[in-house]
């Protein structure tokens, strides 16, 4: 009887291990595949020409494969989304975690959850039909599909990640810290910003990095509002992101063009890896605090 | 002088304090004793209105501080808490440097000058008898100190805003005996300049350090008087039962 139980335990352990390894295996497979398929084009084009070339003409008779426009667009787009999304998300989180009355908190938290659940194609659709024409009229442009529109959409899309993670971090600040501050005569708002926020800073940093990861990896919504032209980025110009560069040409690409798309994916992958490493750093620190 | 007149307190619909009347003397240590849940901590936290933070608390009666009711609209609660400082049961330094812990209060109240802050930090740490232990590591995180040092740091932090009254809510219950005796010595030396009200579970502690003792039971203040008298010739049978260890 005892043996049978032990055998059962061993089998269950094995099953869980295999299930866990599926994740690890997938990550490994994707990593290896991306590296193998991404390197040939970089070799042929030359890493300098590839990363710092400003011309992307993949279908010309004499093609050029410079992805600097995509890299810069992704970087600027993400930075813009962070500049707008982080203050809004952070202050919302402080409000939800510390100030909001229970009813409002439930309402806003529910809305944040819904915002997180909206598929990105819907963001793109609404952006396309409402935001793009709005931007065109507001700034008196020939076309509203540009980097600015993409930044606005991304800023809204990263709000849920920033808010949820920041709220969790702020709520886990021990109440004793806040009591001590209040007992010294500090007002509640002073207490939140001078004690609670500093005590939760690692968690809030993690929230920001998570938002950055979300923004840089987004393809569907931005392809619909950014114009998708391989220009060097500027705020009111149609632009193409790293993600959208791959998505928009993959279906008809061949030869070196296709290989170059894999190389773009590899670059994007490295960006994400870097962001994940940063995120882990902050999460680890916030646990140690 | 703090005068409490016919004060009652409810948490929602359950009454936690019944008609408390008390005159707490200046520049002396008043100990609040009684079994767990008797309302002594609740009473203490009413004195600097920290109970305001708990939803559903209702208070009637008066607490006069310098002849003004602390619940009246004339009172600025942040200013009240500056004048009536508090030390908590569990040492709770902020997760910042020792210096910033002490400077937090003065900075909140608008002191920015570096020289002034340096002076306040040193004076407060000396006042809490911890200066010699931390003078070389003011920039280090306060969470690196031992429990007893943290508690003295918290006392120093409370002193830094120059209060008149110090409320101590079982300040030694989380500490070892040596740290406890240091806090007790500190309390005795502080009563020259401050009015101290201390909640304690430890009756010996009340005997050792306090001038007056109030005995609380089930939300009522049963007896209040000179510590010596309370512990030698209590007037109420319930006080006697408690101090002789028959319950609690």
Mean pLDDT of B101-126: 95
**How close is the nearest chain A Cα to the Cα of B87, in Å?**
8
Sort out which chain A residues have CB atoms less than 8 A from B111's CB and list them.
none
Residue B149 lies in a domain: yes
Distance of alpha carbon B106 from alpha carbon B161, whole angstroms: 6
Selected residue of A98, A169, A176, A184 to mutate for chain B interface (largest B Cβ count, 10 A): A184
**pLDDT, tens only, B134-185:** 999 999 999 999 999 999 999 999 999 999 999 999 999 988 999 899 999 9
Inter-chain CB proximity A180 and B78 less than 8 Å: no
Predicted pLDDT of residue B37? 87
Contacts of A102 in chain B (CB under 8 A): none
A81's enclosing H/E stretch is helix A68-94
- Phi/psi for B211 (5° steps) reads -95, -40
- Which residues of chain B make contact with A195, given a CB cutoff of 8 A? 94, 104
pLDDT at B247 over 70: no
What confidence score (pLDDT) does residue A287 get?
66
Q: Show residues of chain B in contact with A172, CB under 8 Å.
A: none
Distance, CA of B35 to CA of B218 (rounded, Å): 8
Of B65, B11, B68, nearest in space to B42 by CA: B11
Taking Cα atoms as reference points, which of A227, A83, A55 lies closest to residue A152?
A: A83
B161 and A180 within 8 Å at the Cβ level: the answer is no
Q: Tell me the shortest Cα–Cα distance from A281 to chain B, in angstroms.
A: 19
By percentage, how much of chain B surpasses pLDDT 70? Answer: 99
| CA nearest neighbour of B61 among B3, B105, B116 | B3
Q: What one-character-per-residue DSSP string does B189-220 give?
A: HHTTTSEEEEE-S-HHHHHHH-SEEEEEETTE
Alpha-carbon gap: A211 to the closest alpha carbon of chain B (Å): 26
Kind of pairing, strands B220-226 and B212-217?
antiparallel
> Which CATH number does the domain housing residue B226 bear?
3.40.50.300
- Reply yes or no on whether the pLDDT at B124 is more than 70: yes
Measured CA to CA, the distance from residue B211 to residue B128 in angstroms comes to 20
What Cα–Cα distance (Å) separates residue A159 from each residue in A107, A153, A222, A223? 16, 10, 16, 19
How far does the CA of residue B20 sit from the closest CA of chain A (Å)? 23
Which pLDDT score is estimated for A289? 56
d(CA A262, CA A33): 10
* Residue B156 falls inside a structural domain: yes
Give A3's pLDDT tier (boundaries 50, 70, 90): confident
So what's the pLDDT on residue A124? 95
**Chain A partners within 8 Å of B50 (Cβ):** 179, 182-183
pLDDT in tens, A214-232: 999 999 999 999 999 999 9
The pLDDT of B53-69, averaged and rounded, is: 92
> Taking 60 as the threshold, does the pLDDT of residue A185 lie above it?
yes
Whole-number Å distance between alpha carbons of A180 and B155: 11
Is residue B210 in some structural domain?
A: yes
Q: What is the CA radius of gyration of chain B?
A: 18
Residue B5 lies in a domain: no
Percent helix, strand, coil in chain A, to 5, is: 80, 0, 20
pTM: 0.85
Contact B48 A183 (CB under 8 A): yes
pLDDT of A127 strictly over 90 = yes
Structure confidence by residue, pLDDT tens digits, A47-72: 999 999 888 988 888 888 999 999 99
> Does the beta-carbon distance from A185 to B86 stay under 8 Å?
no
Rounded CA gap, B235 and B212, in Å? 15
C-alpha distances in Å from residue B120, one per residue of A209, A260, B106, B115, B124: 39, 65, 8, 9, 6
Contact A165, A89 (CB under 8 A): no
Q: Do B158 and A176 touch (CB under 8 A)?
A: no
Q: Within the 76-135 window of chain B, which residues sit less than 8 Å (CB to CB) from chain A?
A: 78-82, 85-86, 88, 90, 92-96, 104-105, 108-109
Angstroms from B160 CA to nearest CA on chain A? 9
Give the model's pLDDT for residue A235.
92
Q: What is the pLDDT of residues B166-176, one digit of tens each?
A: 999 999 998 89
- What pLDDT score does B197 carry? 97
**Which residues, including other chains, have CB under 8 Å from residue A249's CB and lie 6 or more apart?**
A58, A257, A261
Cα A60 from chain centre: 32
Is residue B2 assigned to a domain? no
| pLDDT at B130 > cutoff 80 | yes
CB-CB: which of B80, B90, B108 is closest to A190?
A: B108
Nearest to B50 by CA among B21, B12, B9: B9
Q: How far apart are CA A133 and CA A149, in angstroms?
A: 10
Cβ-Cβ contacts under 8 Å between A and B: the total is 63
Nearest by Cα to A94 from A199, A193, A207: A193
Encoded tokens for B71: 């619940």
**Given a cut of 70, is residue A288 above it in pLDDT?**
no
Q: Residue A54's Cα: distance from chain center in Å?
A: 25
* Cα separation, A249 vs A257, whole angstroms: 9
Residues 6+ apart with CB under 8 A from A120: A157, A218, A219, A220, A221
Distance from CA of B236 to the nearest CA of A (A): 35
Q: Is residue B141 part of a domain?
A: yes
Q: Which residue is closest to A176 within chain B, CA to CA?
A: B92
pLDDT band at A285 (very low <50, low <70, confident <90, very high): confident
> Residue ranges of the alpha helices (H) in B109-209?
114-127, 131-134, 147-159, 177-190, 203-209
Contact at 8 Å (CB) between A225 and A128? Answer: yes
Evaluate whether residue B173 is within a structural domain: yes
Query: Whole domain around residue B104: which residue ranges?
Result: 25-38+77-243
For residue A183, the chain B residue with the least C-alpha distance is B81
Average pLDDT, chain A: 92
Round to whole Å and give the CA distance between A256 and A44.
Answer: 9
d(CA B70, CA B82): 13
Q: For chain A, how far is it from start to end, CA to CA, in angstroms? A: 47
Contact list in A for residue B53 (CB cut-off 8 A) is 179, 182
DSSP state of B59: E
For chain B, the average pLDDT equals: 93
Q: What is the pLDDT of residue B248?
A: 55
Averaged over A134-150, what is the pLDDT?
94
What total of structural domains would you count in chain B?
1
Please report, rounded to a whole number, the percentage of residues in chain A having pLDDT higher than 70. Answer: 98
Please tell me the predicted confidence (pLDDT) of residue B174: 86
pLDDT at B64 over 70: yes
| Residue A84 and residue A235 in contact, taking contact as beta carbons nearer than 8 Å | no
């Amino acid at each position: 009887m005892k043996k049978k139980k032990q055998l059962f335990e061993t089998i269950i352990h094995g099953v869980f291990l295999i299930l866990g390894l599926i994740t690890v295996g997938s990550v490994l497979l994707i990593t290896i595949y991306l590296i193998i398929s991404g390197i040939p084009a970089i070799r042929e084009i030359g890493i300098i020409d590839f990363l710092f070339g400003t011309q992307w003409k993949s279908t010309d008779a004499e093609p050029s494969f410079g992805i600097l426009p995509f890299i810069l667009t992704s970087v600027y787009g993400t930075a813009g989304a962070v500049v707008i999304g982080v203050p809004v998300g952070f202050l919302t989180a402080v409000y939800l975690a510390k100030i909001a009355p229970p009813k409002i908190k439930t309402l806003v938290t529910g809305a944040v959850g819904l915002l997180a659940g909206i598929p990105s194609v819907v963001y793109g659709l609404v952006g396309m039909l409402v935001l793009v024409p709005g931007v065109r009229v507001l700034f008196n442009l020939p076309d509203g599909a540009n980097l600015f529109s993409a930044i606005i959409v991304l800023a809204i899309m990263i709000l849920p990640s920033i808010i949820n993670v920041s709220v969790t971090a702020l709520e886990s600040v021990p109440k004793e810290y806040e009591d001590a501050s209040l007992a010294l005569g500090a007002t509640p708002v002073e207490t939140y910003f001078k004690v609670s926020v500093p005590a939760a800073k690692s968690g809030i940093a993690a929230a920001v990095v998570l938002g950055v990861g979300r923004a840089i990896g987004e393809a569907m919504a931005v392809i619909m509002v950014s114009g998708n032209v391989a220009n060097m980025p500027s705020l009111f110009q149609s632009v193409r992101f790293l993600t959208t560069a791959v998505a928009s040409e993959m279906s008809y690409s061949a030869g070196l063009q296709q290989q170059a798309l894999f190389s773009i994916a590899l670059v994007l992958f490295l960006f994400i890896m870097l962001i994940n490493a940063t995120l882990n750093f902050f999460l680890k620190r916030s646990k140690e605090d | 002088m703090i005068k409490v007149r016919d004060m009652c307190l409810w948490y929602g619909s359950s009454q936690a304090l019944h008609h408390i009347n008390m005159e707490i003397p200046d520049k002396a240590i008043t100990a609040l004793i009684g079994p767990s849940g008797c309302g002594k901590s609740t009473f203490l936290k009413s004195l600097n209105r920290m109970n305001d933070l708990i939803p559903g608390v209702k208070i009637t009666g008066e607490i006069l501080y310098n002849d003004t009711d602390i619940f009246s609209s004339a009172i600025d609660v942040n200013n009240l808490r500056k004048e009536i400082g508090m030390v908590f049961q569990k040492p709770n330094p902020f997760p910042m440097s020792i210096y910033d812990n002490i400077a937090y209060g003065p900075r909140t109240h608008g002191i920015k000058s570096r020289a002034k802050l340096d002076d306040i930090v040193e004076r407060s740490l000396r006042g809490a008898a911890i200066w010699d232990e931390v003078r070389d590591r003011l920039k280090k995180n306060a969470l690196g100190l031992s429990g007893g040092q943290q508690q003295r740091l918290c006392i120093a932090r409370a002193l830094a805003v120059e209060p008149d009254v110090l409320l101590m809510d079982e300040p030694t219950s989380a500490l070892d005996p040596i740290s406890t005796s240091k806090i007790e010595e500190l309390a005795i030396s502080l009563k020259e300049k401050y009015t101290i009200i201390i909640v304690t579970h430890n009756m010996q502690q009340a005997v050792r350090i306090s001038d007056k003792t109030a005995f609380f039971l089930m939300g009522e203040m049963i007896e209040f008087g000179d510590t010596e008298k309370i512990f030698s010739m209590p007037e109420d049978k319930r006080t006697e039962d408690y101090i002789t260890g028959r319950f609690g």
